[in-house]
Amino acid sequence: MSNGVEREQWASKLGFVLAAAGSAVGLGNIWRFPYITGQNGGAAFVILYVILIFVIGYPVMMAEISMGRKAELNAVGTFKKLRGGPWVLVGWSGIAAGFIILSYYGVIGGWTFKYIFSSFTGLMEAGAAGEAGNFFGGFVSNTVQVVGLQALFMAVVISVVYKGIGEGIEKYCKILMPGLFILLLVLIVRSVTLPGAGEGLAFYMKPDFSKLTGETFLAALGQAFFSLSLGMGCMITYGSYLNKDSYIPGAAAQVCVLDTMVAILSGFVIFPAVFAFGLEPGAGAGLTFVTLPSVFSQMPGGAIWSGLFFLLLFVAALTSAISLLEVVCAYFIDEFKWTRHKATVVMGIIIFLVGIPSAYGLTGNLKVAGKDFLDAADFLASNVLLPLGGLFIALFVGWLWADEAKKEVTNQGDTPFGLTGIWIWICRIVAPVAIGYIFLSGIGVL
């Protein structure tokens, strides 16, 4: 209950699955996954990644969803209600992580607007002239424009969250997620039918087990965690709007499968196209915003393919950004009795303002500990706050809340889940050890 009003709920189980998959499927799936796969042994990495998603990601996701559904509250309120004491800090760290991630996610979301429109107004010409790198450099150093586009992206995010769970987030995700799948399929067909696509497919799909090392394991687990939106109470918050008789093990499995499918399929868009035109699969932002425009510029009808690709990226970023804003707003709505309208507008604007240094930092004039501001913010959230959050969530469910957790995932025994015992032991031992290891290596201790 908030503001004396009945807590909102997802109108359908499909609505929850699509909204949670919308959160999970983001920039991480479309540019980061294909790239790190290429660097880490292709198909061998994919096999390892899928195992980690199901052995560690899936159990932690079930832990988050069941806590949220039980408490019917935001991340902080959930810890307060289920146990209290220092555990509330885990909730706070989650809200902080949501705040930080959205601040720079909004900046990159703004880039997708620029690239959708530029596909038809100059980006292809720049790409054809080998100038895609300069185009990108020129764009990001124009802070006024970058901030303007960031504001526009945040305004779209605010307008969806403003409308609430069923009428806002669920309704938009039900349109956007199928749209994203269609765009992805269209782009795959284009990419794999290019002459010379086979080399890219070989690069992506040939398993090279000799490249699997300790570092690969780390890369795979870190990616799995970020990609599933775990460790900051996002799934606690989305779970808190879930109907009491939905089957949590089934819903969580669907979210994991959808997220993994989109990640793997994105590789089928990127590698065949990049190799068909004899380019190198470069890293991160460079691959997406420099290499791909060059690839599109060499295809017949390139502007259309480029426009569609950046639209795909925009949709993926939007549904993830929505979940990040919802985590923060749910906290202010539940704990301070703010109205949803006030929470979305006030917090949306504050997060936008906090993102401005990330936008300005792209000019190279603002560094924190030797990193661009945006990269520093990403490091703090992804390498510190998320793993710590995930670690404590797993420990909490495994050691302090196991009996309740078992009841919650089986709907008080009405819908049995055969792996309940294994799930609890993964939360107790396997997940904390694995996550602790990513955390210590992420901050350079191991």
Among 27, 221, 290, 315, binds ligand TRP (CB under 6 A): 27
Binding to ligand TRP (CB under 6 A) within 136-165 occurs at none
Nearer to ligand TRP by Cβ, of 333 and 393: the residue is: 393
Write the DSSP assignment of 153-192 as a string of letters.
HHHHHHHHHHT-IIIIIIHHHHHHHHHHHHHHHHHHHHHH
Structure tokens belonging to residue 215:
């570092």
Two tokens at 323? 């979940």
Among 23, 240, 246, 294, binds ligand TRP (CB under 6 A): 23
Residues 323-342 interacting with ligand TRP (rule: CB under 6 A): 323-324
From 23-31, 142-150, 189-197, 395-403, span contacting ligand TRP (CB under 6 A): 23-31
Among 2, 29, 150, 344, binds ligand TRP (CB under 6 A): 29
Binds ligand TRP (CB under 6 A): choice among 17, 19, 24, 359: 24
What residues contact residue 351 under an 8 Å CB cut-off, 6+ apart?
A: 99, 102, 103, 106, 154, 325, 328
119, 150, 294, 320: which one binds ligand TRP (CB under 6 A): 320
Q: Using the rule CB under 6 A, is 74 a contact of ligand TRP?
A: no
Give the tokens for residue 101.
């991630």
Total residues interacting with ligand TRP, rule: CB under 6 A: 16
Identify residue 341 by its one-letter amino acid code: H
Q: Give just the sign of the alpha carbon dihedral 292, 104, 265, 15.
A: negative
- Min CB(209)–ligand TRP separation in Å: 26
Phi/psi of residue 368, nearest 5 degrees: -125, 120
Q: What is the DSSP letter of 8?
A: P
- Of 203-262, binders to ligand TRP (CB under 6 A) are 226-227, 229, 232, 234
Q: Is residue 386 involved in binding ligand TRP (CB under 6 A)?
A: yes
Phi, psi (deg, nearest 5) at residue 372: -60, 150
Least separation in angstroms between residue 97's CB and ligand TRP is 7
Query: Please, what is the Cα angle at 355 between 158 and 181, to 5 degrees?
Result: 55
Closest residue to ligand TRP in the complex (CB)? 26
Q: Is 266 in the site for ligand TRP (CB under 6 A)?
A: no
For the CB of residue 157, give the shortest distance to ligand TRP in the complex, in Å: 12
Residues 81-140 that bind ligand TRP (CB under 6 A): 101
**77 near ligand TRP, judged by CB under 6 A:** no
Parallel, antiparallel, or unpaired: how do β-strands 367-368 and 371-372 relate? Answer: antiparallel
Cα 34 to Cα 281: distance, rounded to the nearest angstrom? 9
26 in contact with ligand TRP (CB under 6 A): yes
CB 112 within 8 A of CB 313: yes
Assess contact for 270 and 281: CB atoms under 8 A.
Answer: yes
Residues that bind ligand TRP (CB under 6 A): 23-24, 26-29, 101, 226-227, 229, 232, 234, 320, 323-324, 386
